Structure 1
Amino acid sequence: MINKIIRVAIAIIGFFLGYQLLALALYFNKIIKLIDPDSIPALITELAGGLIFAIIFFILSSGLIRDGVKAKEWIENRLQKTPMRDILYGFLGLMMGLVVANLFVRAFVSIPWIGGYLPIIANIVLGYLGASVALKKKEELSGIINLPNLLNQKKNTAPTIVNWVKPKILDTSVIIDGRIADICKTGFIEGTLVIPGFVLEELRHIADSSDALKRNRGRRGLDILNKIQKELNVDVEIYEGNFDDIAEVDSKLVKLAQILDGKIITNDFNLNKVAEFQNVQVLNINELSNAVKPVVLPGEEMVVQVIKDGKETGQGVAYLDDGTMIVVDGGKKHIGETIGVMVTSVLQTAAGRMIFARPKSLT
């Protein structure tokens, strides 16, 4: 029943379309006079044209309905896969395009015949352009239209504080490292974690590598991402865009950080330097790890186990639980023993902190 009603509606649309087309043809015939206007009965011709179009549209209506159903299903599938942010930006661009179109066509509405159809054409063209440009420039719009997190304002208190939290962009090395999941679990990371699609692609290639070590590292990285997304209370966003004109993943990360006005989380020393050179903020996991290690001062005493000899003659090497290296002068003869040592100096290097000490028996 519904199918028949739709077919009749399509036929009616075809009738009015044919009627209007024939009326337009007769109007132009009066101007250019290809056929004697007085020899053509206008109303009968227009009605005949409308009837012919109605029959054609009724015959084609089954195919039109079938194609319309397929188009509806395709649109629904695309909308389900499209991020909500893209839908909102597309809607915003569409509205701006329609506003411009309606302001633009006001000057041309008075044109006979064409003026009546021009608003439809302008709304379709400018509406599409507005939505298309907004979607293509969504990264730039995200930097301009930044929706701040507003803290709850209590009555009769100070004004509301605006908290501008920048998105954090993860690179491949820090995902494989795995410590980012523990840091997120503690709640020290605020804002949205952005995982670029090209980083996921690089992880997938590493996980599919023929080298066993690389394959395990890639799979570990994917497991860490699943843990962050499913088990931790952290906002995670997958950035689907790609920069086809840029080959290096590190350069893509820097470009994305500039567009989103975000920070890169990494433990890659080279990426750290490149990002700083281009005025992109970097959160380095290794620097964080060094910063939270216990402070050791010269003169303090500790108990360590000497496990191997050092580079210099007579030196022994021990390690703290956090991995900090302790160079024990005269500790070679104590290899394999647990001894008390006294700190003589502490050296901070790019690779981490190094402690120099000597056995208490020598003090």
Structure 2
Amino acid sequence: MRLGPIFRILGALLYGFIGYELGIALTGSVELNTDTAPVIWGATLGGALLGALLAPWLVIAPARSARNWLRNVPMPDLLTGTIGLAGGLLIAALLAYPISRLPPPFGSILPFVGVLIFGYLGVTVLVLRQDDFFSFFGVNAGKLGSDDDATAASTPAQALLLDTSVIIDGRIADIAQTGFILGTLQVPRFVLNELQYIADSSDTLRRNRGRRGLEILDKLQSNADVAIEFTDEDPKDVQQVDDKLISLALSGGAAIVTNDYNLNRVAQLQGVKVLNINELANAVKSVVLPGEDLPLKIIQEGKEHNQGVGYLEDGTMVVVENGRRFLNQEVLVQVTKVLQTNAGRLIFAVPEGS
């Protein structure tokens, strides 16, 4: 029910009555005649119009602000504040009669001052000492949750749309198995069709990649701890798989999980949340600082003269200057520089003691 029209009518009646009384005061007469009627009716109509215009701003806006403020107040604070206010006003009421017997002007002013002081003290003291208050009555304040907390707890996790690249990559299965993914993994039918098309390719490499993707989906589906579902939703207004994923994410409020840099950028520009497995992998890699010593096995030659190349356990490439002579040997190297690129992290080092 909309309260705006009701308050406008009440405001028009109240301010119209005030305008009527003002018109009578201006004319000095309660009789309506040719001299007084324009003033009285003008003041009445003007007051009614003013009341109809101002009533929502004077009543509804403050009430809405108070309601929004109350929504953000924790239930323990609200409960103890109300009890404290009631207790403070009760004390002020008990003291009001003896204080009112004081000689003027104290007898008329101090009771009102007492209401303000004891009301404020009641709210402040009980809110600040609410833990002791609840403990005295054997109540756990932590259980007095707000509606917002209950709503947040019952809000389902965001669905995650998997694209072809992240399925073929395979790391999503290991990540899901750890329990870090809270939402439901969704595989659209058009992504599954693209995987099947790749698996049926005449090119051996593409065929193996497609089959690996299907195996990853089977692994996810067989894991009881992973929530995965296949959806038949297929946006008809777009043709490309990436465009379909973005359209599906926008319509369903889902996020996209991908390794595709271009899809990542385009989706983010359109306001879609994107989870990039490569970014996650870079985030969990061990931190290496210049000057640190690392044991490293040189497994191949570098592009430049006398360079050797090795890899850390997390797959980070380490380029070792003058490391070619240690090919197929494990040596201690000292980090000289760390570069972060779009493709990942690259570490430069030199053999210890060189």
Q: CA shift at 1:342, angstroms?
A: 0.7
Within a 5 Å distance, the mapping from 1:84-103 to structure 2 comes to: none
Asked whether the 8 Å contact 1:341–1:358 carries over to 2, the reply is yes
Residues 1-363 of structure 1: matches in 2 within 5 Å?
Answer: 156-159=143-146, 160-161=149-150, 162-163=152-153, 164=155, 165-362=157-354
1:262–1:322 Cα change, 3 Å: same
Number of residues of Structure 1 aligned to a counterpart in Structure 2: 210
Tell me how far apart the structure 1 counterparts of residues 205 and 224 of structure 2 sit (CA, whole Å). Answer: 27
- In 1, the alpha carbon distance for the partners of 2:304 and 2:260 equals 30
Amino acid at match of 1:280: V
Tell me, in whole angstroms, the C-alpha distance in 1 between the residues paired with 2:244 and 2:224: 27
* Bigger Rg, structure 1 or 2: 2
Rounded Cα–Cα distance in structure 1 between residues aligned with 2:306 and 2:143: 70
CA change 1:264–1:312 in 2 (3 A) is same
Bigger Cα displacement from structure 2, 283-292 vs 230-239: 230-239
The 3-state SS of whatever aligns with 2:298 is: strand
The 1-side partners of 2:298 and 2:142 are apart by 62
Contact 1:185 1:232 in 2 (8 A): no
What letter is aligned with 2:301?
A: D
CA pair 156-288 structure 1, distance change in 2 beyond 3 A: closer
Q: Classify the secondary structure of the residue corresponding to 1:252.
A: helix
Shift of 1:244: 2.6
Q: With structure 1 as the length reference, what TM-score do the two structures score? A: 0.55
Taking the aligned partners of 1:257 and 1:356, their CA distance within structure 2 comes to: 40
The TM-score with structure 2 as length reference comes to 0.57
Alpha-carbon separation, structure 2, partners of 1:168 and 1:315: 43
- The amino acid that maps onto 1:157 is L
Given that 1:266 and 1:284 are in contact with CA atoms closer than 8 Å, whether structure 2 keeps it comes out as: yes
Q: Deviations over 1:22-66 (max 9, x none)?
A: xxxxxxxxxxxxxxxxxxxxxxxxxxxxxxxxxxxxxxxxxxxxx
**Contact preservation (8 Å) 1:169, 1:194:** yes
CA distance, structure 1, for counterparts of residue 283 and residue 193 of structure 2: 32
Q: For residues 323 and 232 of structure 1, what CA distance do their matches in structure 2 show?
A: 30
Question: Can you list the C-alpha shifts for 1:207-253, whole angstroms capped at 9, x where unaligned?
Answer: 11122222221121111112111224122221102123311100100
Give the AA of the match of 2:143: N
CA distance in 2, matches of 1:208, 1:226: 17
TM-superposed CA distance for 1:310, in Å, is: 1.7
Counterpart AA for 2:269: F
Deviations 1:267-299 (A, max 9, x none): 111111111111111100011111111001111
Between stretches 247-256 and 304-313, larger displacement belongs to: 304-313
Partner Cα distance (1:155, 1:355) in 2: 49
One-letter amino acid of the counterpart of residue 269, structure 1? Y
Write the letter of the residue equivalent to 1:227: K
State how far apart, in whole Å, the 2-side matches of 1:357 and 1:303 are: 11
3-state SS of 2:268 partner? helix
Structure 1 distance, partners of 2:267, 2:213, is 22
Counterparts of 1:238 and 1:315, CA distance in 2: 49
Tell me how far apart the structure 2 counterparts of residues 237 and 264 of structure 1 sit (CA, whole Å). 15
Unaligned runs of 5+ in 1: 1-153
Matches of 2:267 and 2:305, distance apart in 1:
41
Look up the SS of the partner of 2:309 in the other structure. Answer: strand
Amino acid of the structure 2 residue aligned with 1:222: L
- AA aligned opposite 2:206: K
Distance 1:336 1:236 in 2: 44
Paired residues of 1:184 and 1:232 also in contact (CA < 8 A): no
Measured after TM superposition, the shift of residue 155 of structure 1 is: 7.8
Counterpart-to-counterpart distance in 2, 1:180 and 1:232? 15
